[in-house]
Structure 1
Amino acid sequence: MGAQRPIGFKRLLRGAALVGAVLLAGCQTVVPGPGPSRRPPAERPSQSQQPAVEPGIPTDTQRHRVALLVPLSGANAGVGQSLANATQMALLDSRNERVRITSYDTAAGAAQAAQRALADGNQLILGPLLADDVRAVTPIARRAGVPVVSFSNDATAAGNGAYLMGYVPAQSIIRVVKYAHDQGVASFGGLVPNGVYGERASTAFLRAVESAGGRVGALQTYDRAPGSMTAAITRMAKSAPYQAILIADGGSAAAAGVPVLRRNGMGGARILGTELWNSESSIASKPALEGAWFASVSDGLYRQYAAKYRARFGAAPFRLSSLGYDSVLLTIRIMRDWPMGSAFPEDRLKDRGGFSGIDGAFRFGRDNVAERALEVQEIHSGTTVTVSPAPSGF
């Protein structure tokens, strides 16, 4: 990875405005007028030929068809609509005239949405959002030879033609643990919630500390129920002291646990967080997390993007919506090697040089999961400060 170079928001934008197609159908009947008493043989009224009307999306030979599969109704409609808005914003900003994106609602069934998208001739699928939906869509798309670039962060859903752009917890844990060790931290403690996320965070934490050359004094699990984290901290205190403690949970949960750590004699340990913290806009305003470190994608370009999004749509975007924007930039980048009317060149997704977007540099690894260039931020005086910048590329 090379030295970081600032990237302006405008440098990400390259190409086209969205255009539409309208079909006009007409019909004219000629009626003969009155004639003399001796009438000529009757003629049938002439009819103009009606243009054929196709079901679904009209034929478009000038643009690549790309499907966006996101929830546009139901409980996750908010984030789904934000992703849809972001993809349209990317098309408008880039002024690209060679891509058409059509949205399909996955709330009523991701498999059905995928089948409609393929029937409409789409050669690339962006989305879905949820891991279970990715698993439902992938075999359908694979049979059609269409790759899936999903917004999920569940690495187990990757493969067989599915690529994941989501922020994977293991990467943020590895990054912040290495940074902490480089700052002299050698002894670590961990608090992780029970469940799939906690299991993956635990595995990543143990491997990261071992790889960095540190030591894990205790790793305690808890349920997301009243009193459970307190009991885990009490158990952890028996193996104290620690120089740093990872709380692999959201910022609010971490902030609630810090006072308990202090009461149990662990107030001097540096608190470490995960990528979940970056999705909470109020994270910096939690006094209990003063001085805490966490690793995530950079927010520099995202802040500019969010301001433009609010101006265009009248509301703040969901943090995950940047994945939708960057997926369009990725598509446009590959498009130069994508002849019109042909299959999407899936091999280009494995470009080892990677791609750039609002969330910085990323590339898909052998497991089809996006490897991201992450920065380390510190919560300081009501704001977040970058203490270790993200590399600018690979």
Structure 2
Amino acid sequence: MIENCTPAAGKTRVGAALGALGAALVLSACTASAPSAPIQTVPDRPVVGAPPTPATLPVELADRGYTPAFLEGEPDLVRVALLLPFSASSSAARNEAAQLLRAAELAVFERGGSNLVLLPKDTAGDPATARTAAQSAISDGADLIIGPLFQDAVAEAGRAARDAGVPMLSLSSSSAVAGDGVYQLSFPPDEEVRRVTEYVGALGATRFAFIGPASAYGQVTQAAYAETIEDLLGDFPLPETVMLEEPVSDEEDAETVMVERTFDTGLVASQFYDGGVSAMTEAAARLATVGVEELDPAQAAVMSGANWAPSPGSAFQVVLLPEGGDQLRMLAPVLLYQDIDPLLVKFVGTGQWLDNSLAREPALAHGYFAGPDPEARTRFEQVFEEYYGATPSRLAGLGYDAASLAALLAEGGYGADRLTGADGFVGVDGLFRFRADGTIERGLAVYTVRGGGFRVLDPAPERFGPAEMSDDDMSGADMMDKPVSEPAF
């Protein structure tokens, strides 16, 4: 269960600049000084009735400049290719491809004009096949390419798309493959890390630590964490000197004296592990050597994570845990075992925390994480379930958003000036926009784990602030959200 418990004051720097947005797919124009109001184009309630007639051509299609019989004579035909791993060796990838195709068909059915057609192409989950699929789509006259799903496939298909000057909406979470006509429509973890780190920074935190997997995902989140902390505190944060009350002996009734202590600020420690609970325990032990603040039982009795504030006596006040599922259920208790107390040190994470199976994990209670606004996805899920009799996957919304964007922009084309509009889009997972370098900026909410569920501490923004774009990038658009329970591909 997700509740909204937004405080009347105390928004983060990002929250204050942006605000909170509803669920709609919107196309709008704006000026730099006054963003235009979004126009809702999603259904107000579920549409009931028979499933839509497929708005696609066969996956095997490879005829040059093909025009289906039912669109013969249609002026200004718009072809949108959909590159997905329909025949991948992984059943999970094949299922995801099917879900994305269904969602894209639903978007075209709801929004597409009579001159728009989808061209599905099979990448087989293979980079070389993905490049061939992109070349086939270009030969078929594709005006826009959606996909592929995996980073290596995007890299190969993107080369073909760039050579032909055809824009691509990548579904990979990797920012490395974006740019020069390839736009990242996904859930990059660095956006989630930045949002939650800025939130705790606004609460006064100045000392940060990291513990995470020695994987590509762990490296990306650590780098984003370090960059955000530098933005908050500067490249060379100054040490902090504080006066602390400390006992003069280890006895319970010992007198206390005021002691001056100096702490490093910024990212004071990063620990990686490669393996399960044993490797996590070793990494947590190394992290604890930085310094663990003791909390006596009397103090603990009057404290809760709900009223957390950065402790002046902690060597680090915040620790990022970029894990989800069973891995997170192992990692969080390991920190407690090493006396890293969440009453003093705030545990924070990524959208992988937005998983109902984690909501009752005691070690995560009152932790913070960033993720998409839950309200934005509701109508999409209802409509999808009415049509197809099944709940859409986490990533299916990307297929819906991409095809909706294709339909909304079809008349004016898919130029960079339209795709990188400053107002951005509101889609299935809330507010987003493409930066000039092709990466995605998402408007995210900040959540806390509380009472066996999730509560919104700071809502997702209603509008973006000024974009880091050229003065010519003045047009934008909006689209239609659910918890992140697994990493994006």
TM-score (norm 1): 0.83
Q: 3-state SS of the aligned residue for 2:169?
A: strand
Letter paired with 1:11: Q
Q: 3-state SS of the aligned residue for 1:110?
A: helix
* Structure 1 position 379 matched with structure 2 position 413: no
Letter paired with 1:374: L
* Structure 1 position 272 matched with structure 2 position 301: no
The residue that corresponds to 1:332 in the other structure is: 407
* Structure 1 position 187 matched with structure 2 position 207: yes
Q: 1:6 to 1:356 in 2, by over 3 A?
A: closer
After superposition, give the CA deviation of every residue in 1:48-96 in whole Å (9 maximum; x if it has no partner). xxxxx99955264344110111111221111111111111111223364
Distance in 1, matches of 2:420 and 2:220, equals 25
Contact 1:69–1:106 (Cα < 8 Å) also in 2: yes
Structure 1 residue 170 displacement after superposition = 1.3
Distance in 1, matches of 2:326 and 2:178, equals 30
After superposition, give the CA deviation of every residue in 1:220-276 in whole Å (9 maximum; x if it has no partner). 011134411111001001113332210122243222112111111112222111133
* Structure 1 position 98 matched with structure 2 position 122: no
The residue that corresponds to 1:215 in the other structure is: 266
Distance in 2, matches of 1:228 and 1:13, equals 47
Contact 2:65–2:141 (Cα < 8 Å) also in 1: no
After superposition, give the CA deviation of every residue in 1:282-310 in whole Å (9 maximum; x if it has no partner). 33243332211111222212133223323
* Structure 1 position 306 matched with structure 2 position 357: no
Bigger Rg over Cα? 1
Q: 3-state SS of the aligned residue for 1:282?
A: helix
The residue that corresponds to 2:279 in the other structure is: 228
After superposition, give the CA deviation of every residue in 1:123-174 in whole Å (9 maximum; x if it has no partner). 1100111110111111212222211111111111112321111111111111
User: 1:102-117 residue pairs with structure 2 within 5 A?
Assistant: 102-107=119-124, 109-117=129-137
Distance in 2, matches of 1:186 and 1:251, equals 29
Distance in 1, matches of 2:212 and 2:406, equals 37
Contact 1:217–1:240 (Cα < 8 Å) also in 2: no
The residue that corresponds to 1:139 in the other structure is: 159
Structure 1 residue 388 displacement after superposition = 0.7
The residue that corresponds to 2:368 in the other structure is: 293
Q: Which has the higher contact order (CA 8 A, sep 6+)?
A: 2
Distance in 2, matches of 1:265 and 1:294, equals 22
The residue that corresponds to 2:96 in the other structure is: 79
The residue that corresponds to 1:367 in the other structure is: 437
Q: 1:18 to 1:312 in 2, by over 3 A?
A: closer
Distance in 1, matches of 2:41 and 2:213, equals 38
Distance in 2, matches of 1:94 and 1:129, equals 23
Structure 1 residue 358 displacement after superposition = 1.5
Structure 1 residue 215 displacement after superposition = 2.5
Structure 1 residue 393 displacement after superposition = 1.8
The residue that corresponds to 1:41 in the other structure is: none
Percentage of identical aligned residues: 30
Structure 1 residue 188 displacement after superposition = 1.8
Contact 2:209–2:319 (Cα < 8 Å) also in 1: yes
Distance in 1, matches of 2:351 and 2:183, equals 19
Distance in 2, matches of 1:6 and 1:20, equals 28
Structure 1 residue 320 displacement after superposition = 1.3
Alignment size in residue pairs:
356
The residue that corresponds to 1:389 in the other structure is: 459
Q: 1:135 to 1:21 in 2, by over 3 A?
A: closer
Larger CA deviation: 58-67 vs 142-151: 58-67
Distance in 1, matches of 2:358 and 2:383, equals 22
Structure 1 residue 183 displacement after superposition = 2.2
Q: 1:55 to 1:65 in 2, by over 3 A?
A: closer
Q: 3-state SS of the aligned residue for 2:359?
A: helix
Select 2:80's aligned residue among 54, 57, 66: 66
Larger CA deviation: 151-160 vs 94-103: 94-103
Structure 1 residue 281 displacement after superposition = 4.8
Larger CA deviation: 371-380 vs 93-102: 93-102
Distance in 2, matches of 1:20 and 1:372, equals 29
Structure 1 residue 18 displacement after superposition = 5.9
Structure 1 residue 365 displacement after superposition = 0.9
Structure 1 residue 210 displacement after superposition = 2.7
The residue that corresponds to 1:238 in the other structure is: 289
Letter paired with 1:58: P
Distance in 1, matches of 2:65 and 2:430, equals 40
Contact 1:138–1:148 (Cα < 8 Å) also in 2: yes
Letter paired with 1:238: T
The residue that corresponds to 1:353 in the other structure is: 423
Distance in 2, matches of 1:134 and 1:20, equals 24
Letter paired with 2:269: A
Contact 2:180–2:437 (Cα < 8 Å) also in 1: no
Q: 1:21 to 1:182 in 2, by over 3 A?
A: closer
Structure 1 residue 105 displacement after superposition = 1.3
The residue that corresponds to 1:162 in the other structure is: 182
Structure 1 residue 110 displacement after superposition = 0.7
Larger CA deviation: 299-308 vs 147-156: 299-308
Unmatched runs of 5 consecutive residues or more in structure 1: 23-52, 339-343
Select 1:178's aligned residue among 171, 192, 198: 198
Contact 1:297–1:359 (Cα < 8 Å) also in 2: yes
Distance in 2, matches of 1:170 and 1:19, equals 36
Letter paired with 1:272: V
